[in-house]
Structure 1
Amino acid sequence: MKGMLKKALAVAICAGVLAGCASEEDTVIMAPVPSVDNEFTPKKVWSTSVGDGVEHYYSKLTPAYGYGKIFAASRDGVVKALDPETGALLWEQDLEQDVPARLAGGITTGYSQIFIGSENGQVLALNEETGEVNWRVDVDGEVLSAPATDSNLVIVSTDKGILLALNQEDGSQKWAISTEVPNLTLRGSSAPVAFSGGVFWGTANGRLAAAVAEHGQLIWQQPIGSPQGATEIDRLVDVDASPLVLGGALYIIGFNGQLTAIDLRSGKPVWKRKYSSATDLASDGSRLFVVTDKDHLVAFDARSGTELWSNDKLEHRLLTAPKMVNEYLVVGDSEGYLYWIDRISGEFVSKQEVDSSGFAVPPLVVPGGYVVTTRDGDVKKLTINE
């Protein structure tokens, strides 16, 4: 099998879906924690917690910064607004009702509100100042990624292949676009990105789609991966990464697909490279950074697609998406380490052990430092002490 994601999916199917499925020997070997001579040691500014975090569940429940506050949430429905300088609690809201909240889609800020989705097929809007729930609506499918905001709309992608737009004032539906969903897909969905009047998102059938944000008119679809192989697992082509807009181009990568640069004006590919990933991209403005399905870190020239460097020292460590922090490339792993990588050379410059529960999402850059959230719900602000 090709990579940890496929392996994890196959094991999950055996354990959770096919009762009586024969056990399978685990052949995936996690690379040991690399030895790093730290060039700096990050310093903790404050620490707090939010519920029980996301625990061991799949999650892209990423915190957000906006309106001078840090917003963080737990899968069980606790949402907090925190002072970014001190970590002091500004307000707290518990969204759990008769059933577990199962929050999953990362937090998005806009229109003096914060928006968040759930595995229960709900989208919620909270007042950013008080935490009061302004509206809560049911949608068709699980919301596993962060919404986008544009044209007074909240745009949400669901696991049933539906992109829909909700009125930001009351949550009423304005339009919906449906795309095909194969019988077997990866757990996750692409977070839509709104830019210059358009909305862009990845689909479970291996495409990048574009639509007019205001009206929901589909403009184009570009294939990022084509199903190949004898089994359904081999033929997975999900585009779960969020599109990245940089200059006049849009960048996207798919699982069993390709890293692709697309011209925003024409919607046509500029270049393609054969790499596989289900995590978001990062960029420093001239380079693209990818975590592959084998947890290799790879850097590319954004204009040409030329590979600049590759680092395989974190293979199968279940890395988060990459993030740029203070000119360094940063990723977290399943054992709670943060790794700081030189964006020019790809070499490690620092390693930080934060929490043994591990990371599901990358750090959040905020004024005066960065915030990490661990799987068990710890929220910490740190700063680099170089």
Structure 2
Amino acid sequence: MSTLKTKAAGSRLRGLRATGVAVLVAASVAGCSLWNSGSNKPVPADLGANVAILGVRQAWTAKVGTGNAVPLEAHAAGNVVTLASADGVVAAIDARTGGDVWRAALGEPLSAGVGSDGKSAAVVSRGSALIVLQSGREAWRQPLPAQVFTPPLVAGGRVFVLLADRSVAAFDENTGRKLWSQQRTGDPLVLRQAGVLLAVGDTLVVGFSGRLVGLNPDNGSVRWEAPLASSRGTNDVERLVELVGRTSRAGESVCARAFQAAVGCVNTARGTVAWSQPASGADGVHGDAEAIFGTESNGTVVAWRRSDGSRLWSVDKLKYRKLTAPLLLGRSVVVGDDTGLVHLLSRTDGSPLNRLTTDGSGISVGPVVAADTLVVVTRNGGVYGFRPD
């Protein structure tokens, strides 16, 4: 991730209510998901025998949180993966060994995490407190005026937070002093899942409703806005349009998904939309300079050409499995499913390369990579490290 260059930092830079904004669990939006409970839920096709074209072995396992505490988004940087569980356990794990670098039990439930720059790790409690840890010890905390579901961004000596009331706030990384806040307006509904918040050069890029917005990290002023999707329908639920993490960045290009509406890419140097294509997924995208990859709500995996959005391929071998956001790793597109399997698909055509097993509780968040190790986290808090044979 590019660091934010700021004047102050020199060369570094789900039915709930949140400040009048209704917050919805993504899967509960009527008509937007195939994963509602009921006897008519489609049955996934049998996968058949696993043919391991790409050799991968399990290198280590670890644990974060209790079996009832769903893990939050994982953050990978260098050799370290930082994880948090909904019951308040935060751990930095060495991806080379699976051992703890540090671990902290905050003793209170969390709604968002983890953001880290290698020095500080930031999470947000369900009580709307921003908590920053350094070397596993709480350095400071600040109350927030609304709930948070997006992992904080730690960059440029600052901690940036995207709140459920569509405001963004910046805090000094070392002292916790609030530096600025920027309030936006939008539709009355937001999703209870991670949104878009990242650094691109000296610009803070944020997802507001269906737009990517570039902010000045010094004061929160708007530099540009680029719409990837617009509201549609006749009621608040149908008009819901929200950008969801994860994103794919390649140089000045940032690609993102608008929940159940579109996938598109923005040129952040000009603040313009390069392309946007209709898509019906609920999780983010990943890719490189050539292609981006996404999972649709029905379990179809899709690849788009990054330059113009033309579809390269789509495969339905995993149809009706609830898939995570993908991770592009070498020649593989990696996705987890709700049975705890990890699927490695060819980036060229989506054909299967291998299938890995975990504890069977389901993969809870998008896979990440650190120290040449594929790291996946299950709903029961199992952390698995896989490496090529």
The TM-score normalised by the length of structure 2 is 0.85
Is 1:8 matched up with 2:28? yes
Shift of 1:377: 1.0
Amino acid at match of 1:34: L
How many corresponding residue pairs? 361
Shift of 1:206: 2.0
Q: In structure 1, what is the equivalent of residue 378 of structure 2? A: 374
Give the whole-Å Cα distance in 2 for the aligned partners of 1:288 and 1:361. Answer: 18
Give the whole-Å Cα distance in 2 for the aligned partners of 1:344 and 1:320. Answer: 20
Amino acid at match of 1:195: V
Shift of 1:11: 9.7
User: Residue 278 of structure 1: which of 254, 272, 282 is its match?
Assistant: 282
- 1:46 to 1:242, Cα distance in 2 relative to 1, 3 A: closer
Give the whole-Å Cα distance in 1 for the aligned partners of 2:143 and 2:151. Answer: 16
SS at 2:334's partner residue?
strand
User: Residue 196 of structure 1: which of 195, 201, 206 is its match?
Assistant: 201
Shift of 1:41: 4.8
Is 1:356 matched up with 2:360? yes
Is 1:44 matched up with 2:58? yes
Q: In structure 2, what is the equivalent of residue 71 of structure 1? A: 82
Q: In structure 2, what is the equivalent of residue 180 of structure 1? A: 185
Identity %: 25
Give the whole-Å Cα distance in 2 for the aligned partners of 1:24 and 1:348. Answer: 29
CA contact (8 A) 1:227 1:237 kept: yes
CA contact (8 A) 1:236 1:256 kept: no
Shift of 1:256: 3.8
User: Residue 89 of structure 1: which of 94, 100, 108 is its match?
Assistant: 100
What does 1:149-164 align with in structure 2 at a 5 Å threshold?
Answer: 149-164=154-169
CA contact (8 A) 2:248 2:288 kept: no
CA distances 1:267-312 after superposition (whole Å, capped 9, x unpaired): 1222221223332211133111111233321101111211000012
Give the whole-Å Cα distance in 2 for the aligned partners of 1:248 and 1:78. Answer: 35
CA contact (8 A) 1:53 1:374 kept: no
Amino acid at match of 1:220: W
Q: In structure 2, what is the equivalent of residue 62 of structure 1? A: 73
CA distances 1:100-156 after superposition (whole Å, capped 9, x unpaired): x2223232222621112233212211113xx11101111122221222233321111
Amino acid at match of 1:345: D
Is 1:124 matched up with 2:131? yes
Give the whole-Å Cα distance in 2 for the aligned partners of 1:247 and 1:90. Answer: 31
User: Residue 141 of structure 2: which of 112, 131, 136 is its match?
Assistant: 136
My pick for the range that moved more, 289-298 or 341-350, is 289-298
CA distances 1:194-236 after superposition (whole Å, capped 9, x unpaired): 1111111212x32221111122111222222222223433222
- RMSD, aligned CA: 2.5
CA contact (8 A) 1:11 1:24 kept: no
Amino acid at match of 1:46: W
Q: In structure 1, what is the equivalent of residue 293 of structure 2? A: 289
Give the whole-Å Cα distance in 2 for the aligned partners of 1:285 and 1:229. Answer: 34
Q: In structure 1, what is the equivalent of residue 343 of structure 2? A: 339
CA contact (8 A) 1:341 1:349 kept: yes
Q: In structure 1, what is the equivalent of residue 121 of structure 2? A: 114
Report which of the two has the higher share of strand.
2
My pick for the range that moved more, 42-51 or 156-165, is 42-51
Shift of 1:324: 1.7
Q: In structure 1, what is the equivalent of residue 11 of structure 2? A: none
- 1:64 to 1:242, Cα distance in 2 relative to 1, 3 A: closer
Give the whole-Å Cα distance in 2 for the aligned partners of 1:8 and 1:29. Answer: 17
SS at 1:176's partner residue?
strand
SS at 2:206's partner residue?
strand
Q: In structure 1, what is the equivalent of residue 239 of structure 2? A: 235
User: Residue 317 of structure 1: which of 299, 310, 321 is its match?
Assistant: 321
- 1:71 to 1:260, Cα distance in 2 relative to 1, 3 A: closer
Structure 1 portions without partners, runs of 5+? 13-22
Amino acid at match of 2:114: I
Is 1:254 matched up with 2:254? no
Q: In structure 2, what is the equivalent of residue 80 of structure 1? A: 91
Shift of 1:337: 0.7
Give the whole-Å Cα distance in 2 for the aligned partners of 1:6 and 1:32. Answer: 25
CA distances 1:137-179 after superposition (whole Å, capped 9, x unpaired): 1112222122223332111111111111111012221111122
The TM-score normalised by the length of structure 1 is 0.85
CA contact (8 A) 2:113 2:151 kept: yes
Give the whole-Å Cα distance in 1 for the aligned partners of 2:260 and 2:76. Answer: 33
Shift of 1:346: 1.2
CA contact (8 A) 1:309 1:345 kept: yes
Shift of 1:65: 3.5
Shift of 1:239: 1.3
What does 1:299-314 align with in structure 2 at a 5 Å threshold?
Answer: 299-314=303-318
Q: In structure 1, what is the equivalent of residue 22 of structure 2? A: none
Give the whole-Å Cα distance in 2 for the aligned partners of 1:215 and 1:274. Answer: 34
SS at 2:314's partner residue?
strand
Give the whole-Å Cα distance in 2 for the aligned partners of 1:72 and 1:240. Answer: 19
